[in-house]
Every structure is written in structure tokens, then in C-alpha cells.
A and B are shown apart, each in its own frame.
Chain A
Amino acid sequence: MIPTLYILFLMVPIYWLASMSLKTNGEITGGFSLWPRSPTLANYKVIFTDPSWYHGYINSIIYVVMNTAISLAVALPAAYAFSRYRFLGDKHLFFWLFTNRMAPPAVFVLPFFQLYSAFGLIDTHIAVAIAHCLFNVPLAVWILEGFMSGVPREIDETAYIDGYSFPRFFFRIFTPLIASGIGVTAFFCFMFSWVELLLARTLTTVNAKPIAAVMTRTVSASGMDWGVLAAAGILTIVPGALVIWFVRNYIAKGFALGRV
């Protein structure tokens, strides 16, 4: 009962966005109507036929996928180190990683811009992917460490006795054991990189401009283009919804095993 009411509460604004995306601007601003009176796909057509719109989606997807891949690649060995060994300053390092999620981005964007221009990275997908690592890598290390700690250490030792080298052990035996953890981590990296706007907008101008930044274009002299904005909004939910559909079985199971 309570979950149903809650889902209803979640769906109403999304329904409103979907219904707006099927209306003309005249109908949206003309007054209140619960259903679109004459549903039209014109708003979606604008997005799919205008390169500056659909390139926004492509740009976002490129840097989000890059970020997810990089975050996982660097977080896996680090999480293994934290879960299997104690070393000088391990707890301090773990907490320091964590502090990178706490910097209010507003003022930090200026030096960010200077840093990335010094390396000639402005307006590239890799710049946004690397910048988003600032908050995604600590989260990835944190989640993966929990999953890895759930795998008994005897498995490592047996593999070494059987003559496995470390890389072979890690990729052939260990990685499959924490597959669901990797799925959950990938989902979280995808989600946080997908919704972040401030850094992505600061580091890009034209060629790597994210969709969320393209959307601010709909404010023009002739007023807001609400219909196109709503259609673009609906389309920003689709990729994430697809990702969660694919990892849905891992989420509950994964969290249960993990530290989080």
C-alpha cells in the first residue's frame, strides 16, 4: 500500500512531463489541461532532426560511458588493496578519497577550468569523463571494497597454491565472483555522471556539450519552448531507465552483499 502510494507520487510529475512533451506550446501555456487534447510528436521530431540536439545526447553518452569504464578500471585494484591488506595510512587514504565528494563545486569550477585548459582538454569528452572521476572513483572504490570483502580470502590463497599468477587469478576467478558488484558500481557511476551538470557545462563549449546544457538553449527571446524542453527531459530519462532494467537483478542482491 505505502510503496504503491509512493510510486504514484513519483510518477505524477513524470506523467506531467510526458504529457507536456506531447502538447504544442500553445496548449501548454494556454491553460490547464490534464490530457494532451491533440497529441503530437512534433517536439520529438525537433530533437531527432536537429543535430545540435541529438549531438547533445551522443556527447553525454560518450563521456558517461568513458567515465564508467575509467572509474571501474582504476577502482578495481584500489578496492582490492583496501579489502585484502592493511597498509600505512590505509584508513586515512580511504577517508581522503571520500572527502572529494564534499567540495561545493561552485567556486571549484573556476580553477577546474584553468587546470583543464592548461592541459588543452577543454571541450573534449575525456575532460568531462576525468572530471567526473573526482566523485565517481571514490564511490566505486567504496562499493567494490564492500563486495570484495564479502569474498573469503581462502579463495585467493587456493588460487596461488594452484599456480595462478596474480593477473590470471584476478580476471579469471576473482572478477566473475564480484560480477554483481561491478554491475551495481557501473550503475552508480553512470547515474551520477549522467545527472551532473555544473562541471560538464564548465568544461565544454561546442563539441562535447552535454544534453542537459543544450536544454538551456530553449530559453529564447520568444519565450520558453516548453514542449521541446519536456520532450528532451523525457529522452534524458530513457538511457538511465534502460541501464537500470539491465542491472535490476543485481541491485537488491548486490547491495545485500556489499558494504553499502
Chain B
Amino acid sequence: MKPWNNKAWLFTIPTLVLVAFSAVIPLMTVVNYAFQDTFGNNVFTWVGLDWFRKILHSERFLAALIRNLAFSAIILAIEIPLGVLIALRMPKKGIGVPICLVLMSLPLLVPFNVVGTIWQVFGRNDIGLLGASLKGLGIDYNYVSDPIDAWGTVIAMDVWHWTSLVVLLCYAGLASIPDAYYQAAQIDGASAWAKFRYIQLPKLSRVLTIAVLLRFMDSFMIYTEPFVVTGGGPGNATTFLSIDLVKMAIGEFNIGPAAAMSLVYFLIILLVSWVFYTVMTRHDD
């Protein structure tokens, strides 16, 4: 049990000051915008909850929200099991380990707009390897005009970009399981499935929760990559919440509704993440 000492607060002050500097004032400004209307010239009028009412009843917001929830759900359903599977099959020692780690980390280190650019060209059916190969196979593929192809491209891109994060986390989680567990399983004659279900999966639960949490937050806020590839199109097919938000805030300069939308958006992420956090720390002291 850790000792109780309120002086420990002093150690957190640099962190607090630095994070609060960038967090509190912008957040309060956004809250301010969300309750006011402006016609420029720094004249603001109080509108109360109008923007929130408008946002929550707007079909455009709900459509983007549903699209984004679907996107996050698909991403998690693909990346988490795939990441676990790859981590389970990765070499445990030897030269293969650093090679796998370095090669798998490469997509994580590519700036977001470069990720978009790579896939934008890669998927083009006249000059890109993916597009041209699919065309060569006689598959009618065009992410610019077909909503399903656009979704497929954006999902493939995200799987390419982020699955390695899940792999790295799970690989480390697996590495921390003491050998004694496996020896005991061997003596009991446990099957591979039993070993996974009763030893590896429980030990992975913690890193998995964190992987799910990080992937949820990031996929729910995804902006740059799909924007570069599809620009939110065709039509609104890949207009996720962030893309819609930027359109509203910068394209249409509707600061009030955009601010209200940001807060609703933030609260949704906060709520889901809080549930994960509570589940994650349930077994701690």
C-alpha cells in the first residue's frame, strides 16, 4: 500500500501547469463560443442552449456520428483481433525480433498527411499499384466515385497505419508472462486454445483495454488521413465528425454551432473512455 502524502502534489505541478496552459484556456474559449452567436467584429450575443439543441437535432451531425461510430467499430473489430494474432505468432527471440519491431513500426512514424498521400496514389486505378492491380483482376474499383470503395480504402489505410500499435502492445504484454505458467499448462496437457483462453488472454486484458481505448479515441477523431484521400466524399460518404466539424468551423465559419458540436463530440469520447478507464482500473488496489 502506498503511503498517503499530500506533498506529492508538488511533484505534479510542472506537469499541471504545462498541460493546463494549453488545455484550460482553449477549452473555456470553446465553451464560450458554444453559448454565443457572433456576426464578426467581436460582438457576441448570448444564445443559451440553442446551438446544442440545433446540433442534437441536426441530421447532418447524426449522420456523421453514425458514420464515425461505424468506422470506429469496424476498425476495432479488425485491428484488435489481427493485432493479437500477429503478436502471438511473432518470433520470441533472435534476429527476427528487432527486424519485426522496426519494420512494423514504420507506418506509425509516417506523418498523417503523408499516410493520406501514399494511399491516395496507391489506390488510383490509372497509376497506383493497388488500383491498377484490382483493375487488372477485373474488379471495378474507384474510390473517388464509389462510396463502398472509398470506405474500403479508408479502412485498409487505417489498418495499415495503426494495427502495429496493437501488435507492439500485445507483444509486450505476452513477453511479460512468466514461463512457469506455460510449464504448468504443458504438464496439464492444455491445448493451444486453452493456453490462449486461460493464460494469454487474461494476461493481455490490461494492454488490450489500453489498445482498444487508444484506437477508439484516435479513430473517432480521425481527420487528416481520410481528408487527404477522399476529402469526405464521394458525396458525404466518408465525412466523419472531424471532417464535418472543420467544414463547419473553417469552411462555413459557423463558430457557435461548431463549438457546441466539439463539446458534444468531446463528451462522447470522454464518456466511452471513462467507462474503459473504470473497467481497466477495477482490479487495482
Q: Given A28-B127, A97-B19, A248-B102, does the pair A107, B168 have CB atoms closer than 8 Å?
A: no
CB < 8 Å neighbour of A133 from B11, B19, B90, B110: B19
- When C-beta atoms are compared, the residue in chain A nearest to B114 turns out to be A233
How many Å lie between the Cα of A191 and that of B272 in the bound state? Answer: 25
Q: List 17 extra interface pairs beyond A32-B126, A106-B258, CB under 8 A.
A: A2-B89, A9-B160, A10-B104, A10-B160, A16-B118, A86-B5, A102-B221, A102-B270, A102-B273, A107-B249, A112-B26, A115-B26, A137-B18, A215-B114, A233-B118, A240-B106, A241-B102
A93 interface hit (Cβ, 8 Å):
yes
B201 interface hit (Cβ, 8 Å):
no
How many Å lie between the Cα of A251 and that of B176 in the bound state? Answer: 12
Contacting A at CB under 8 A, from B241-285, are 241-242, 245-246, 249, 255, 258-259, 261-262, 265-266, 269-270, 273-274, 277, 281
Q: Chain B residues near A161 (CB, 8 Å)? A: none
Q: Chain B residues near A12 (CB, 8 Å)? A: 129-130
B151 interface hit (Cβ, 8 Å):
no
Chain A 86-102, CB-CB to B under 8 Å as 1, else 0, gives 11101101010111111
Interface centre among B172, B259, B261, B273 (most CB of A within 10 A): B172
How many Å lie between the Cα of A258 and that of B176 in the bound state? Answer: 9
Q: Given A2-B85, A7-B104, A84-B2, does the pair A105, B129 have CB atoms closer than 8 Å?
A: no
Q: What's the minimum C-beta distance from A95 to chain B, rounded to whole angstroms?
A: 6
On whether the beta carbons of B100 and A3 are closer than 8 Å, the reply is yes
CB < 8 Å neighbour of B242 from A91, A104, A226, A256: A104
- Pick out which of these stretches binds chain B: A36-44, A47-55, A75-83, A171-179: A75-83
Chain A 127-163, CB-CB to B under 8 Å as 1, else 0, gives 0001101100110010000000000000000000000
Task: Please name 6 pairs of A and B residues whose Cβ atoms are closer than 8 Å in the assembled complex, sorted by A.
Answer: A95-B277, A107-B262, A195-B108, A236-B114, A241-B105, A255-B171
A114 interface hit (Cβ, 8 Å):
yes
On whether the beta carbons of A255 and B175 are closer than 8 Å, the reply is yes
How many Å lie between the Cα of A94 and that of B29 in the bound state? Answer: 24
CB < 8 Å neighbour of B246 from A9, A106, A245: A106
How many Å lie between the Cα of A133 and that of B111 in the bound state? Answer: 18
B193 interface hit (Cβ, 8 Å):
no
Residue count of chain A within 8 Å CB distance of chain B: 95
B15 interface hit (Cβ, 8 Å):
yes
Chain B 1-16, CB-CB to A under 8 Å as 1, else 0, gives 0111111111110111
Chain B 97-123, CB-CB to A under 8 Å as 1, else 0, gives 110111111111111111001110110
Chain B 164-195, CB-CB to A under 8 Å as 1, else 0, gives 10011101110110000000000000000000
B27 interface hit (Cβ, 8 Å):
yes
Chain B 219-256, CB-CB to A under 8 Å as 1, else 0, gives 00101100000000000000001100110010000010
On whether the beta carbons of A16 and B129 are closer than 8 Å, the reply is yes
Q: Chain A residues near B121 (CB, 8 Å)? A: 16, 20, 226, 230
Nearest 8 CB-CB pairings of A with B: A255-B172, A240-B109, A111-B29, A81-B11, A85-B8, A81-B8, A256-B176, A111-B26
Q: Chain A residues near B4 (CB, 8 Å)? A: 85-87
How many Å lie between the Cα of A191 and that of B109 in the bound state? Answer: 6
